[in-house]
A and B are shown apart, each in its own frame.
Chain A
Amino acid sequence: MSISIEPEKCVGCGRCTEVCPGNLLEMTAGKAAIREVRDCWGCTACVKECPRDAIFYYLSADLGGAGGRLYAHDTAVSLTWQLRLPDGSEQEIIVAKNKANAY
């Protein structure tokens, strides 16, 4: 389980390095980098925090992953999750922040 950082999108704001609960993200030459992908818990705090959608989350091969990339866009009222699948298709799920889980 891990995240991946797209350096071309990273603007070097460092916000992800503040929120990683494992201190795994650090700034290297002005860009965010993960110290060790195997140490990622998969909490997606950094994915939600990134203001440029430069970090995505994926399921590793040993978790049954198939190559999809999960991005999250955080606003005051909702979290929009975007899943990009290897066939080029995209799916979106919008979760309203003022709505409780039904279950």
Chain B
Amino acid sequence: MEFLDKAADVLIIGGGAAGCYAAITLAEEHPKLSVLLVDKAGIKRSGCLAAGVNALNAYITPGHTPEDYADYAAKDAAGIVRDDLLLTMSRGLNEVTRRMEELGLVILKDEAGQYVSRGWRNLKINGENIKPLLAAAVRRCPNVEVLEHVSAVDYLQADDGAVTGAWGVGVRQDKVYFLQAKAVICATGGAAGLYRPNHPGSSRHKMWYSPFNTGAGYAMGLRAGAEMTTFEMRFIALRCKDTIAPTGTLAQGVGAAQVNAAGERYQHKYGNTTSERLYAVVSENLAGRGPCYLETEGITEAQQDSLERAYLNMAPAQTMKWRETGLGPASANVEVEGSEPYVVGGHTASGYWIDAARATTLPGLFAAGDVAGGCPQKYVTGAFVEGKIAAQSAAAYAAERPGAALSAAARERIRTRIETLLTPPAASPLFTVESLEEAMQQVMDEYAGGITAGYRYTEKQLGLAARHIERLTRLSENLRAADGYGLVQLFELQERLLICRVLIEHLKARRETRWHAFAENLDYPGTNPALEKYVNSRLSDGKVQIIYRDLVKRGDRYEHQH
């Protein structure tokens, strides 16, 4: 293993939507700053947008305001949102959309040159190449260096707790990098792979969220002492059966309603928030009225042709399934199912507890995109806005801060840890990364509200889940790796185990059912007005400490009390 040093004014961890946009912003607004963007894979297709995206789901259309968008997001999340974060995000949506169009994104326009919307907040695009366009823009930035195939493991911290960089492991080469910076932007995305997936066998990674988003940023933050929020608002996607392809294109695009096996429309019985649309499917199935479908039968051939192309631009499996079976959406309704639960800040609100400048509770550390909490329904454009705000804040912070040198002791600790993990075990090990990951996913599935539990849980079950996760965490400490790729897999397992541990405590702390399916606590089936609060957490002396915080409503602006 080779140990290497790199330094920059600003380090961006993660080159997805938020990270790339942060880099582009720093190049445009602070061309004299040196920027290092590190990504676990290659930025052309890394992150959530690898296959493309079907629409821009967050845009302020004429006649609407950023306040309307914030109100919509607050209603969908039953009030557990940060209004200051939603407003600062919403106010930037249209500008980043224009910028993406300049970078080459095709957005549908009418004859008058106005964007054509799908509903009041979505724009129709060709999003297949959105990630290559972003990556190309980053590569044109003269002050941005891109370090690919390097997975960040932990932050580097100064004596006062300030974040001064990160260290990471080369996935393809046996190299460890010490990446030092004056300010750090975390944009690593959310966490998939915590729960047993829809297809645990040969298609275990056929999931909604990127299986390569392992929650690294959450785990790094927790280990460094950062405060997190709202992990318990899990996101569970309603998807096309098997292909796990989006359903919004069918529901909003061609107006397909949900129907059960008897062909009955049932949505009105359950409400129409994101969690209620999923809960409706779960409930109909539990009542013996499944499977459930989106009622597409009878759409025109022209509509079917357009849908085939739309899916090729984001989820080609769905078009392939229609063609392979010979049963396109015009001739057969599309069956739907729920995914396994995720922890993510772009659809729901899980992530770093930040202020409106996207500063975390750790000095020098900023967060944007799915890893940043409190600001749900941000989607791709919202992630861009957060990347931009975080970039501006990080640049201002870096200007004030002299670079801190990594101490020899810290360097030696990391070196020793790596060498220990690469030392072959004395005896043949009983457990592998894979077997512990499967065990973790089974525990979460059965005891912490996974697919087979109908997303429901009790306090007693959560207690069992916590004990099993603690056991698996202990076992993971004996695992060893053979190379950089193996090390990264081992670190990813440990990240997920830590996130599971914190998630369970969040689920326990919300003693109510505020969102059906997303957090369905069978011991507390109703809402509790006393829990109109954020559930936050931080690691303190190795223990998960839960903090309840008051809601930040319209007109309020949260400030950290350092």
Contact = CB atoms under 8 A, between A and B. Distances in A.
Given A1-B206, A21-B46, A61-B202, A68 B324 contact: yes
A95 B202 CA distance: 30
A20 B211 contact: no
A45 B128 CA distance: 10
User: What is the size category of the interface that chain A forms with chain B?
Assistant: 35 or more
Interface in A19-67: 19-23, 26, 35, 37-45, 49, 57, 59-66
B310 A65 contact: no
B230 to A, nearest CB: 26
Given A18-B44, A97-B126, A103-B249, A41 B50 contact: yes
A81 B485 CA distance: 32
B317 A21 contact: no
Nearest to A65: B324
B interface, how many residues as a size bin? 35 or more
Contact of A100 (B108, B203, B320, B323): B108
B291 interface: no
A85 B321 CA distance: 11
Given A23-B172, A103-B124, A1 B107 contact: no
Contacts of B321: 59, 63-64
Interface string B281-319: 000000000000000000000010011111011001101
Nearest to B310: A101
Interface in B192-206: 199, 201-206
A17 B202 CA distance: 21
B81 interface: no
B202 A60 contact: yes
Given A23-B149, A98-B106, A18 B313 contact: no
B254 interface: yes
Contacts of A68: 320, 323-324
A66 B485 CA distance: 33
A103 B202 contact: no
Contact of A38 (B202, B309, B312): B202
Nearest to B51: A43
A71 B201 CA distance: 24
A42 B317 contact: yes
A40 B171 CA distance: 16
Contacts of B148: 18
B41 interface: yes
Contacts of B308: 93
Interface string A70-103: 1010000001010101000001010101111111
B324 A85 contact: yes
Contacts of A20: 41-42, 45
B173 to A, nearest CB: 11
Given A38-B203, A60-B202, A95-B128, A70 B316 contact: yes
A37 B203 CA distance: 8
B208 to A, nearest CB: 10
B485 to A, nearest CB: 7
Contacts of B124: 100-103
B202 A2 contact: yes
A95 B309 contact: yes
Most buried by B among A23, A81, A83: A23
Nearest to A99: B126
A101 B325 CA distance: 23
Given A22-B211, A44-B51, A38 B125 contact: no
21 contacts: A1-B203, A21-B41, A21-B50, A23-B40, A23-B172, A35-B485, A42-B51, A43-B50, A43-B51, A57-B317, A59-B242, A60-B202, A60-B206, A66-B324, A70-B320, A81-B316, A85-B323, A99-B126, A101-B249, A103-B254, A103-B303
Per CB-CB distance, the 6 closest pairs between chain A and chain B, nearest first, are A103-B253, A100-B108, A43-B50, A102-B306, A45-B45, A1-B206
Interface of B: 40-42, 44-47, 50-51, 54-55, 106-108, 116, 118, 124-129, 148-149, 171-172, 199, 201-207, 210-212, 242-243, 249-250, 252-254, 303, 306-310, 312-313, 316-317, 319-321, 323-325, 485
Interface of A: 1-2, 17-23, 26, 35, 37-45, 49, 57, 59-66, 68, 70, 72, 79, 81, 83, 85, 91, 93, 95, 97-103
Given A20-B45, A63-B317, A95-B313, 19 more contacts: A1-B199, A1-B206, A21-B47, A41-B205, A57-B320, A59-B243, A60-B203, A62-B202, A63-B243, A66-B325, A91-B323, A93-B309, A95-B126, A97-B126, A98-B126, A99-B126, A100-B106, A100-B107, A101-B108
